[in-house]
Chain A
Amino acid sequence: MTAVYRKELRSYLTSMIGYVFIAFMLAAIGIYFAFQNLNIGSPRFELVLDNVQFVFLVFVPILTMRVLADEKKQRTDQLLLTLPLSVWDIVLGKFLAVVTLYAVPMVIICFYPLLLSSFGPVNMPAAYFAILSFFLLGCADIAIGVFLSSVTENSVIAAVMTFGVLLACYLMNTIATMVSYTATASFLAFTVVILLFVAIVYHMLKNTTVTCVAGVVLEGIRILSEWKTCKFL
Chain B
Amino acid sequence: MIEVKHLVKKYGDHTAVNDLSFTLESGKIYGFLGPNGAGKSTTMNMMTGYIASTSGQILINGHDILTETEEAKKCIGYLPEIPPLYVDMTVWEYLITVADLKKVPKKERNAQLEKIMETVQITDMKKRLIKNLSKGYRQRVGIAQALIGYPEIIILDEPTVGLDPKQIIEIRDLVKSLGKDDTVILSSHILTEISAVCDYVLIINKGRLVAADATENLSKMFARQNSLELLLDVSQEEAEKVLDKFPQIETVHFTTLADQTLRVELNVGGDTDIRRELFFAFADARIPILEMKNASVTLEDIFLEVTGNADETQKNREEETR
Contact residues of B between 54 and 111, Cβ < 8 Å to A: 69-71, 73-74, 76, 78, 80, 82, 84-89, 97-98, 100-103
The segment from A77-85, A168-176, A179-187 found at the interface with B is A77-85
| Complex partner residue of A7 from B45, B80, B100, CB under 8 angstroms | B100
Tell me whether B27 is interfacial, beta carbon within 8 Å. no
| Complex partner residue of A82 from B73, B88, B100, B103, CB under 8 angstroms | B73
**B38 smallest CB distance to A (angstroms):** 19
| Contact indicator A3/B88 (Cβ below 8 Å) | no
| Contact indicator B49/A11 (Cβ below 8 Å) | no
| Contact indicator B101/A4 (Cβ below 8 Å) | yes
Seen from chain B, the residues whose Cβ lies within 8 Å of a Cβ on chain A are 45, 48-50, 69-71, 73-74, 76, 78, 80, 82, 84-89, 97-98, 100-103, 145
- How many residue pairs bridge A and B at CB < 8 Å? 62
Given contacts A11-B86, A76-B85, A78-B80, are A83 and B101 in contact (CB under 8 A)? yes
List of A residues within 8 angstroms of B85 by Cβ? 74, 76
Extra 8 A-B pairs, beta carbons < 8 Å, given A15-B88, A84-B74, A85-B101:
A3-B100, A7-B101, A11-B89, A75-B82, A76-B85, A78-B78, A78-B84, A82-B78
| Contact indicator A83/B88 (Cβ below 8 Å) | no
In the complex, 11 of the A-B residue pairs with CB atoms within 8 angstroms, ordered by the A residue number, are A10-B97, A74-B86, A76-B85, A78-B80, A78-B82, A79-B80, A82-B76, A83-B98, A83-B101, A85-B70, A85-B73
List of A residues within 8 angstroms of B101 by Cβ? 3-4, 7, 80, 83, 85
| Contact indicator A78/B88 (Cβ below 8 Å) | no
| Contact indicator A82/B48 (Cβ below 8 Å) | yes
| Complex partner residue of B103 from A75, A79, A84, CB under 8 angstroms | A84
Contact residues of A between 71 and 123, Cβ < 8 Å to B: 74-86
List of B residues within 8 angstroms of A222 by Cβ? none
| Contact indicator B84/A79 (Cβ below 8 Å) | yes
Bound form: Cα–Cα A144–B48 in Å: 30
List of B residues within 8 angstroms of A86 by Cβ? 69-70
| Contact indicator B50/A11 (Cβ below 8 Å) | no
Bound form: Cα–Cα A78–B86 in Å: 12
Given contacts A84-B70, A84-B74, A86-B69, are A75 and B86 in contact (CB under 8 A)? no
Bound form: Cα–Cα A81–B85 in Å: 14
**A5 smallest CB distance to B (angstroms):** 10
List of A residues within 8 angstroms of B86 by Cβ? 11, 74, 76
Tell me whether A203 is interfacial, beta carbon within 8 Å. no
List of A residues within 8 angstroms of B82 by Cβ? 75, 78
| Contact indicator B97/A7 (Cβ below 8 Å) | yes
Bound form: Cα–Cα A68–B23 in Å: 35
List of A residues within 8 angstroms of B74 by Cβ? 84
**A106 smallest CB distance to B (angstroms):** 27
**A90 smallest CB distance to B (angstroms):** 10
Given contacts A7-B100, A84-B103, are A79 and B88 in contact (CB under 8 A)? no
List of A residues within 8 angstroms of B97 by Cβ? 3, 7, 10
Bound form: Cα–Cα A76–B102 in Å: 15
List of B residues within 8 angstroms of A75 by Cβ? 80, 82, 84
